[in-house]
Amino acid sequence: MVLRKFKLILLVCAFSFSCGYYSLKGSLPPHIKSISLSPVINESAEFGVSENLETKINEILISENILEVTGEDIADSRLNITITSIRDQPYTISASSTSSYEQVDEWRITLSANVVWYDITRDVPLFDKRLSEWGAYGTGLDIHSDKIDNDNDGFIDEEDDDEFGSPRESALEFAIIKLTEKVITEVTSTW
């Protein structure tokens, strides 16, 4: 009886400890322990976007401890990102009250990039994808009072603590943040 209770306690402990800690690293191919991020290439006319995207991706890779971030000369894998376009397009249009023409009330800025995660050790791509994200902005001077959910988080203006500054610049920043999250999700879901 005592032996049976001991086995049951041992089994429960083993199960609890094995399931109590979950790591995404466990499903990685065993030879990939590190990643390098090549300088982000910017093929758009927008200044500073590549540096901003590169910084955000590096910060998340390091803070989330997804893989060891190293130089390419010692990395097992490499992330290559090319910003292919940044487009502003009308998002919400209404009839003008002063003329017979329509007017744009809200714009959407879309950031598109090609992202390749490459297995340096085996000389093969782990994925090669075209990703896009967007941010919305109004025609006013301040994003904090445009009555738009600029980052699609369910909050507007004074309810949203990250809506401030120039509408277009802020919308582009939201697109960069969302693209960063999408890239990280692609890396972790590839495992």
Q: Which structural domains are found in the chain, ordered by start?
A: 27-190 (3.30.160.150)
Three-class secondary structure assignment of the chain: CHHHHHHHHHHHHHHHHHHHCCCHHHHCCCCCCEEEECCCEECCCCCCHHHHHHHHHHHHHHHCCCCEECCCCCCCEEEEEEEEEEEEEEEEEEECCCCCCEEEEEEEEEEEEEEEEEECCCCEEEEEEEEEEEEEEECCCCHHHCCCCCCCCCCCHHHCCCCCCCHHHHHHHHHHHHHHHHHHHHHHHHC
| pTM of the shown model | 0.74
Average pLDDT over residues 58-87: 94
**Tens digit of pLDDT for each residue in 38-51?**
999 999 999 999 99
Looking at residue 66, its pLDDT comes to 83
